[in-house]
Amino acid sequence: MTGLYFEDYHDGQRIETPRRTVTDYDISAFVTLCGFSTPTFLDLEYVSRPEHYSGRIAPGMLTLSLAEGLVLSAGVTRGTGLALLDLTPRWQAPVYAGDTIGTRIDFVSKRLTSRGDRGVVKTSNTVVNSKGETVATYDSTRMIKTRAFGSAEEGSA
């Protein structure tokens, strides 16, 4: 399956990704890999205190990474995405081990580049947990192929 070409994006377009459950292992692996060595992510007794959280939370960057992984697993940019140019995240609520999240992608705008065989597509993305709560939002800007991508290079050889 090929992802969406530049021409396929349109006003009012919304795409829902598959969902996935955030596991304790996901949090442990991410925290270890990235060196997030604070009680917030490593000390289960600390985070279970009523004045803190109600369990082990995922770092916001893990939530963002998983949300983007869901975009990729949905195939939206498979074979058509050239570059992620900008990502502007905002976090609204914690994601806990055991929460299931999904990403909703809403088209914002697009413009062709000067080369004409690729364009810049902006989307607004919302990460929602299984309770229907928004846990994060982020705007993304990607360079996406047009259907004519590469034809100018191929014909000039």
Q: Which CATH number is associated with domain 6-23+57-155?
A: 3.10.129.10
Backbone phi, psi, residue 151, to 5°: -70, -30
Q: Where are the domains of the chain?
A: 6-23+57-155
Strands 81-91 and 100-112 turn out to be unpaired
Q: Which helix (H) or strand (E) holds 68?
A: helix 60-73
Question: 56-67: string of b/e by CB count within 10 Å (b at 16+)?
Answer: bbbbeebbbebb
pLDDT score at 154: 47
In sequence order, the 6+-apart residues with CB closer than 8 A to the CB of 132 are: none
> Is the pLDDT assigned to residue 45 strictly greater than 50?
yes
Tens digits of residue pLDDT in 23-39: 999 999 999 999 998 98
> Is the pLDDT assigned to residue 155 strictly greater than 80?
no
Tens digits of residue pLDDT in 125-136: 999 999 999 999
pTM of the model: 0.89
